Amino acid sequence: MSRLILVRHGQARAFEEDSDRLTEHGMEQALKVGQYFASRRVAFDEVYSGTLERQKRTLLLVSNAYRDARLNWPTIRLIPGWNEYDSGGVLRHLRPMLAGRDAGFAELVRAAEEHRTSAEANRHFQPMFEKLLQHWIAGDLEHPAVESWATFRGRVETALRRVLTAEGPSRTVLIVSSGGPIATAVQTVLEAPPRMALELNWRMRNASITEFLFTKGRVTLDQFNAVPHLGPELVTYR
C-alpha cells in the first residue's frame, strides 16, 4: 500500500500585486508542516511541487525541518501540472465578460471593487469570485488567454495519474500544491461532479494535509484538509 500526501502551500499574499509569495504567517505554517512530518519520522520516497513560488517556498521550508532533524530528504522535482488555475486571468478576462451580460454579477463586481482596500475585502470578493468560477467550470465563459476548466482538470488528472500508476514497490509521495489542484484530485478520486471541486476548494486551509492510500488500480481518500500541526491562531483559508 502506497501513500500520497498532498499539502497546500502556506498563506500567500492575497489581494497584493505580487500574490505568489508566502506571508510571514505562511512561512510559519510551512515550517510546522515539516516539523510535524519530521517528528513522526515520515520517510518520503519522492517529493514534488508545482512551479509557483508559494508552492516551492513551502516545500523548501518543509525540507529545512527534515535537514534540521538530520533526516533523509529526496531530490525535489517540479511538476507544472500541480500549479493552481489562473485566477488572475479569470478575473482579468472573464470577469468583464460576465459583468457585461449579467447585471446581478456586475453589482457583485461593483461591491468587491468598492471594498477592495477595506477590512471587509474578502467578504465582498468571495461571492463575486464564486459565481465567476461557477461559470468557468460550466464552460460558458472562455477566453484564449485563460486556461479552461477542462484543460486545468486534465493536467491535474494527468499529474495525479503519473503518481498513482508509477511502477515500483510501496512508496510514500509528498506533493506541495494549491487548493484548486488538491480539491480537483479529491473530486476526481471520489468521482464527484465537477462543481464539488469548487466547494472543496473554498474549505481548504493553508498548509493542510490531504492523504490518499493507493495500490495499482485502486485509490482511496484517507484524510482531507487536516491541520493537526497548526494551532487555532495559525489556521487560515486564504
Residue-wise pLDDT tens digits, 147-198: 999 999 999 999 999 999 998 889 999 999 999 999 999 999 999 998 899 8
- The structure's pTM equals 0.92
Mean pLDDT of all residues in the chain? 94
**How much is the pLDDT for 44?**
97
Residue-wise pLDDT tens digits, 68-91: 999 999 999 999 999 999 999 999
**How much is the pLDDT for 15?**
57
Annotated domain spans of the chain: 2-84+147-234, 87-138
Angle in degrees, CA 25, 183, 83, rounded to 5: 70
Helix, strand, coil percent values for the chain (each to nearest 5) = 50, 15, 35
**How much is the pLDDT for 223?**
97
Fold exhibited by the domain 2-84+147-234: Rossmann fold (3.40.50)
